[in-house]
Structures are given as structure tokens and as C-alpha cells.
């Protein structure tokens, strides 16, 4: 089937004093209807800029500098802004790390959900209120009817994120973009909100672009995963294959940074070091400075994509390799 979201050779450039910075430098992936695709990487690798480019919410200094963005056949880069406004919050729902910054502090939750319902589904008055109550119930907020009249400050962090999810669902999105949706929450609350999102995703058949730096979130949520490093994708594949045999030396380093026994599903941050500055002209592999397996060629030649079973990887080690080797922890370090 044709993909719901099709990202082709996407580039984002940001104007800076010393010349353009390229936080997203030619990435391609697609997401099928009903599929959760996790974009995994460290902070600063370009994940959030990718999400902002898709929803056309890039900051003023940034622009899409190449590539294509298709949503079920529509060319998102060429839609007039008026139509994009109905796509955003309609066909594409969005939730971010900090629910507090996305909610209006002086408007009741019911009125905020009501605005989204009016804009995207033309519901008003009692009809909108009834639908808002159903939405709050669907995200597990107890006493939904009374809570419609509450203001954001009357909700805890986890409950605020549930409200954000309800608002994102108001337009019945085909694609939900969730950028670090649980990173700001306590660990036990994180798990509850992730389970809620997974349930809603399956129930509604939404596709989801899930942006995270957390392998535990990927393990819990993703159907497929793409690993980003320094503005590029370096590996993609089905979740199970990725967890069985991460291929790229960077991905293997992320796993090696986890304590023993934590490989599957533990909520862990896995810092591996800092992503290189993106205002340089790269020659060779961007991971070469940090790669334990780098060899001569890596400094001179940018690696192309190799297909290994259901996975793809950008690394010279896999030239001419067609079957994944199992991960040995010692070699991943």
C-alpha cells in the first residue's frame, strides 16, 4: 500500500552568522497507515526539526531546503498555508514534551478542546461539549464532565499531557506526531501515558511519528524505528530486528550504554557523547570520530545505504554483507 507519510530527502537549513546550519540533511522514511514509526536519537540530532518541518511549524530562521513531504498523496510543502492550517490539528495531530506550553492558561479545558472541535469538525455548543467529554474520557481523565470547566493549572503534569492528547485527537488525525511526549513526566506516569497512546493508536488506526531519545520508549511503542545521528538517518528497520541485531555502530553503542539486563523495555537514557556541530561540511562518515570500528575509508567516503534483511544501514562495514550478525556486547562497546 502507498505510505501515509512519505518523507523524501528532506533537508532543513537554519540561517546562522557563520553560514547555514543543517539540522536535517537529506533524510527519507515513510510511515504506513496505522503504523508507529519511532525516530530515535540524541538531543540535537535533528528529530524535532524533522517533526516541525512535517507540520510546517519551523522557527523563522529555519526553512525546508530540499526534499519532499507527502501525506496520502498531498504535497505538504506546496499546500497553501490556509489549507495547511486545517491539516495541522486535523489530519495531523501533534503533542510535545511540555504540555504546559501548548495549553492556554486562561481558558478552560472544555473551551480549548471545543475550539479544536469547531475548527476541525465544525462542532459547536452542546454537541462540542459532549464530544469534548468523550475525548477526555478516552484519555482516562476521571470525572470528565466536571473537569471540562477546569483550567490547565488544576491538572497534574500527567493529566495535562492527557488533555493535550485529547486535543490532538479532536481533529481525528490520520497521523499523530508525538515529540518526546513523556520525557517531562515521572517514570510511573510515563509508562501510563505511553500505554494510553499505544492503545489509542491501535484503536483509532492512527499512524504515529514518535520522537524519542529513549530506547525503552521505542521497545514499548514502535513498529519500526529509524536511528538519527547528526542530521542523518543511519539505520531503519522493524523493532524486533533492531532490538535483536542493531546494525550501525552508533546504535550498538546506544545499547552498550545500557546496564546489563536493561536491553528490553527499561526506561533509560543512553547518552553516548555529543553530536558533532552541524555547521560543517562533512567528509566521510559523521560518526567516524566516535566509532570504535572506524577504518581508513570512513574518513574519506560517506557511507551509502545497505539492505540487510528487513533492515537498512548506512555504514561501510556492511558493504557486501547480506545477513545480520548477532550482537555481541563486547564488540558493541
Interface residues with ligand SF4 (CB under 6 A) are 248-249, 285, 287-288, 291, 293-294, 298, 303, 315-317
CB of 229 to ligand SF4, least distance (A): 9
CB of 47 to Mg ion, least distance (A): 6
> Is the separation of the CB atoms in 324 and 308 below 8 Å?
yes
Residue 48 interface partner, choices Mg ion, ligand SF4, none, CB cut-off 5-8 Å depending on type: Mg ion
Cell 510515563, residue located: 190
* Cβ-based nearer residue to Mg ion, 277 or 330: 277
Q: Residue 212 interacts with Mg ion (CB under 5 A)?
A: no
Cell 528532506, residue located: 10
* Cβ-based nearer residue to ligand SF4, 195 or 331: 331
CB of 181 to ligand SF4, least distance (A): 30
Cell of residue 26, nine digits: 537529506
3-state secondary structure of 182: coil
Residue 205 backbone phi and psi in degrees, to 5: 65, 25
DSSP 290: G
Residue 228 interface partner, choices ligand SF4, Mg ion, none, CB cut-off 5-8 Å depending on type: none
Residue 249 interface partner, choices ligand SF4, Mg ion, none, CB cut-off 5-8 Å depending on type: ligand SF4
* Cβ-based nearer residue to ligand SF4, 181 or 249: 249
How many other C-beta atoms lie within 10 A of the C-beta of residue 246?
A: 26
* Cβ-based nearer residue to ligand SF4, 153 or 295: 295
CB of 211 to Mg ion, least distance (A): 7
Q: Identify residues 26-55 at the interface with Mg ion (CB under 5 A).
A: 48
Of all residues in this chain, which one has the CB nearest to Mg ion in the complex? 48
Residue 275 interface partner, choices Mg ion, ligand SF4, none, CB cut-off 5-8 Å depending on type: none
Q: Identify residues 44-103 at the interface with Mg ion (CB under 5 A).
A: 48
**Among 315, 312, 313, which residue's Cα sits nearest to residue 298?**
315
* Cβ-based nearer residue to ligand SF4, 61 or 283: 283
How many other C-beta atoms lie within 10 A of the C-beta of residue 245?
A: 18
* Cβ-based nearer residue to ligand SF4, 69 or 288: 288
Beta-bridge mates of residue 30:
6
CB of 232 to ligand SF4, least distance (A): 11
* List of long-range contacts for 152-160, beta carbons under 8 Å, 24+ apart: 152/100, 152/103, 152/104, 152/105, 152/109, 153/105, 155/109, 157/99, 157/100, 157/184, 157/185, 157/186, 157/189, 158/185, 158/186, 158/189, 158/192, 158/193, 160/99, 160/100, 160/103
**Among 29, 33, 36, 37, which residue's Cα sits nearest to residue 1?**
33
Residue 293 interface partner, choices ligand SF4, Mg ion, none, CB cut-off 5-8 Å depending on type: ligand SF4
CB of 69 to Mg ion, least distance (A): 19
Provide CB contacts within 8 A for 260, sequence distance 6+: none
Which residues contact Mg ion by CB under 5 A? Answer: 48
Amino acid at each position: 500500500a502507498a505510505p501515509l507519510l512519505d518523507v523524501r530527502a528532506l533537508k532543513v537549513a537554519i540561517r546562522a552568522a557563520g553560514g547555514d546550519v543543517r539540522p536535517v540533511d537529506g533524510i527519507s522514511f515513510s510511515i504506513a497507515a496505522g503504523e508507529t514509526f519511532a525516530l530515535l536519537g540524541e538531543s540535537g540530532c535533528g528529530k524535532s526539526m524533522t517533526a516541525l518541518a512535517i507540520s510546517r511549524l519551523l522557527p523563522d530562521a529555519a526553512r525546508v531546503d530540499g526534499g519532499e513531504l507527502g501525506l496520502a498523496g498531498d504535497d505538504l510543502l506546496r499546500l497553501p498555508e490556509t489549507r495547511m492550517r486545517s491539516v495541522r490539528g486535523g489530519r495531523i495531530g501533534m503533542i510535545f514534551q511540555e504540555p504546559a506550553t501548548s495549553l492556554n492558561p486562561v481558558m478552560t479545558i472544555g473551551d480549548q478542546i471545543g475550539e479544536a472541535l469547531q475548527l476541525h469538525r465544525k462542532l459547536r455548543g452542546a454537541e462540542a461539549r459532549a464530544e469534548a467529554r468523550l475525548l477526555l474520557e478516552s484519555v482516562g481523565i476521571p470525572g470528565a464532565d466536571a473537569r471540562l470547566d477546569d483550567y490547565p493549572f488544576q491538572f497534574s503534569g500527567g493529566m495535562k499531557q492527557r488533555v493535550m492528547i485529547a486535543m490532538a485527537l479532536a481533529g481525528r488525525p490520520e497521523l499523530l506526531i508525538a515529540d518526546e511526549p513523556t520525557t517531562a513526566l515521572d517514570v510511573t506516569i510515563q509508562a501510563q501515558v505511553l500505554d494510553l497512546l499505544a492503545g489509542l493508536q491501535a484503536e483509532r488506526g492512527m499512524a504515529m511519528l514518535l520522537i524519542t531519545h529513549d530506547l525503552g520508549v521505542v521497545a514499548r511503542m514502535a513498529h519500526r524505528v529509524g536511528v538519527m545521528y547528526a542530521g542523518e538517518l543511519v539505520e531503519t528497520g522493524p523493532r524486533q530486528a533492531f532490538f535483536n541485531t542493531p546494525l550501525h555502530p552508533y546504535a550498538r553503542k546506544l545499547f552498550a550504554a545500557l546496564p546489563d539486563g536493561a536491553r528490553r523495555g527499561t526506561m533509560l537514557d543512553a547518552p553516548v557523547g555529543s553530536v558533532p556541530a552541524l555547521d560543517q561540511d562533512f567528509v566521510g562518515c559523521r560518526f567516524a570520530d566516535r566509532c570504535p570500528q572506524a577504518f581508513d575509508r570512513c574518513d574519506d567516503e560517506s557511507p551509502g545505504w545497505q539492505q540487510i534483511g528487513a533492515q537498512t544501514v548506512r555504514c561501510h562495514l556492511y558493504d557486501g554483507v547480506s545477513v545480520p550478525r548477532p550482537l555481541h556486547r563486547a564488540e558493541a562497546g
